[in-house]
Amino acid sequence: MAKDFSARLNEMPEGWLQAMGVTITLATKDEVRAELITGAEHMQGYGIVHGGVHCGLIESLASIGAALFALPRGQHVVGLDNNTSFIRAVRAGVKLRAVATPISRGRRTQVWEARVIDEDDRVVATGRVRLLCLEAEQALAGEQVKGVLHPEQTPGSQSHS
């Protein structure tokens, strides 16, 4: 079985996952799982979870899994596109679970798919994320890439996708 990095990710003191209250329950190169209890911070004007929460959750899980696959090859990953479909509206107080798995993993790109499910096992959202694999020496936004899963970084370092 692949090494699970969920504890290391959950130790991050800041970032989007922490701001949204997401807990990573499994993080391997083959599958990433997370949980989130919806609250006021997740709502949009109609009192339902904002679609950006589903998009962000799906992209985060895909990015984590893709990074875990790419890092041993000396690569980092960034999202190229995220196609998320909203299936069912969700209100505050609902425990959501999400899972992402790879569809395709090449040297230059990866494609991951994900599902967000409510506490009654109903699909809330589905998504597909395409990610670009960057060589370690490539700069991103003018700086060297560093992230929480990079071997030289401490558990509190921030990852950007």
pTM, whole model, 2 decimals? 0.88
pLDDT score, position 150: 55
Q: Who has greater pLDDT, 67 or 154?
A: 67
The closest alpha carbon to 125, from 56, 25, 32, 40, belongs to 56
Q: What is the DSSP string of 35-86?
A: EEE--GGGB-TTSSB-HHHHHHHHHHHHHHHHHHHHGGGTEEEEEEEEEEEE
47-85 pLDDT per residue, tens: 999 999 999 999 999 999 999 999 999 999 999 999 999
110-134 pLDDT per residue, tens: 999 999 999 999 999 999 999 999 9
Q: What is the third-level CATH fold of 6-136?
A: Thiol Ester Dehydrase; Chain A (3.10.129)
Q: Give 46's contacts (C-beta < 8 A, 6+ positions apart).
A: none
